[in-house]
């Protein structure tokens, strides 16, 4: 998983469970609460929450950080749809480095597509 690999280089703690369950104190990436709140608001397309999160990021991290946070969130509105509509094999994610225990810790094994595959459908 790219998150875990990148956090190793900055010595920031990651709780993989937070990826699916939402942010906890187990993840110590700088400004993570602001960025995750922004990402969640963008996925929900909740304009009030987006406005609040945008203001918080600008105040704490600056305008350029907001632009790159928005661009990153946007990019994964595209990647996900290609992967899921084309049926890219999920076990090849992150160059095939996502071990089963990582998927389990991140909550990915509970996702519909994995469940369907495990059920043989």
- Which residues inside 34-53 make contact with another protein, applying CB under 8 A? 35-36, 38-40, 42-43, 45, 47, 50-51
Residue 7 is a binding residue for another protein (CB under 8 A): yes
Among 59, 76, 99, 100, binds another protein (CB under 8 A): 76
Select from 72, 53, 71, 49 the least CA-distant residue to 61.
53
Cβ closer to another protein: 101 or 116? Answer: 116
Q: Quick one: tokens of 49?
A: 């929450």
Smallest gap from Cβ 54 to another protein, in A, equals: 6
Contact 12, 26 (CB under 8 A): no
DSSP 8-state secondary structure symbol assigned to residue 119: T
Interface mask (CB under 8 A) for another protein, residues 17-36, using x and -?
Answer: --xx--x---x-xxxx--xx
CA distance 67 to 71: 6
Contact 111, 93 (CB under 8 A): no
CA distance 103 to 57: 30
Smallest gap from Cβ 101 to another protein, in A, equals: 15
Residues 54-73 that bind another protein (CB under 8 A): 54, 58, 61-73
């Amino acid at each position: 998983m790219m998150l875990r690999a990148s956090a190793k280089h900055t010595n920031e703690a990651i709780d993989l469970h937070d990826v699916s369950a939402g942010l906890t104190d187990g993840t110590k990436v700088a400004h993570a609460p602001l960025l995750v709140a922004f990402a969640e608001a963008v996925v929900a397309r909740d304009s009030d929450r987006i406005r609040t999160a945008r203001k918080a990021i600008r105040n704490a991290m600056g305008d350029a950080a907001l632009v790159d946070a928005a661009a990153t969130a946007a990019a994964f509105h595209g990647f996900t749809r290609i992967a899921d509509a084309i049926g890219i094999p999920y076990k090849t994610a992150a160059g095939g480095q996502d071990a089963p225990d990582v998927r389990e810790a991140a909550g990915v094994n509970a996702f519909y597509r994995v469940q369907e595959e495990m059920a043989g459908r």
